């Protein structure tokens, strides 16, 4: 099939003498596209005070579409520590009081401020000395006191699967405040692309 040079009619494409088709396009990431559709979310624990190792965040996707976690943000307040803290991301945990206590996160908001869409997910915040069992440790991240980190991940969480996050702040005395946030979006259906 040949494409005719129809520049100026608004109905045909321009083809130059080197047989190149001229087009104008706008490129955006899938994550930004999800924001525009109202399908992007911020899930944030709010402050959790640690006096020992514990849990931070649990998310189980209940949507029919896959949930993509683009990044995890974690912030740790001032503390007296014996070593650098360790945050562990766990794939498909199955138990522990992080899940059974079901303490809702402080923030589960759409990243399109004009959208009223909500995310169908279990999203729970952890606690000092909290437990998380089962699943597979997937990623270890060092977390320093009085610091904030943004970890790019691009993890795909299909319906019914989950992610859990634990934190050992390596405290030598006292307490430390920390928070954890998942920057995420629902993967567009191919029909929506």
Locate the domains of the chain by residue range.
34-188
pLDDT at 193: 44
Cα radius of gyration (the chain): 22
58-110 pLDDT, tens digit per residue, is 999 999 999 999 999 999 999 999 999 999 999 999 999 999 999 999 999 99
pLDDT at 163: 98
In this prediction, residues 48-54 reach a mean pLDDT of 98
Q: Determine the CATH number of domain 34-188.
A: 2.60.120.680
Q: What is the mean pLDDT of the chain?
A: 93
Burial 59-69 (b: 16+ CB within 10 A, else e): bbbebebbbbb
Checking if the pLDDT of 3 tops 80, the result is no
Whether 68 and 31 have beta carbons less than 8 Å apart is answered as yes
pLDDT at 6: 63
Checking if the pLDDT of 21 tops 60, the result is yes
pLDDT at 166: 98
Q: Which of 112, 128, 93 is nearest to 39 (CA)?
A: 112
Whether 78 and 178 have beta carbons less than 8 Å apart is answered as no
Q: Report percent pLDDT > 90 for the chain.
A: 82
């Amino acid at each position: 099939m040949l494409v005719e040079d129809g520049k100026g009619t608004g109905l045909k494409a321009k083809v130059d003498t080197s047989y190149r088709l001229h087009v104008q396009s706008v490129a955006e990431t899938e994550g930004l596209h999800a924001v525009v559709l109202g399908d992007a979310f911020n899930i944030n624990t709010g402050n959790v005070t640690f006096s020992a190792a514990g849990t931070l965040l649990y998310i189980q996707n209940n949507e029919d579409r896959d949930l993509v976690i683009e990044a995890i943000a974690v912030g740790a307040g001032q503390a007296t520590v014996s070593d650098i803290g360790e945050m562990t991301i766990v794939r498909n945990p199955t138990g522990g009081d992080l899940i059974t206590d079901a303490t809702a996160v402080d923030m589960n908001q759409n990243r399109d401020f004009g959208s009223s869409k909500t995310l169908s997910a279990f999203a729970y915040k952890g606690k000092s000395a909290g437990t998380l069992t089962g699943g597979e440790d997937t990623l270890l991240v060092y977390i320093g006191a009085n610091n904030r980190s943004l970890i790019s991940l691009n993890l795909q969480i299909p319906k019914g699967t989950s992610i859990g996050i634990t934190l050992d702040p390596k405290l030598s005395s006292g307490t430390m405040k920390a928070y954890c946030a998942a920057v995420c979006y629902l993967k567009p259906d191919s029909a929506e692309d």
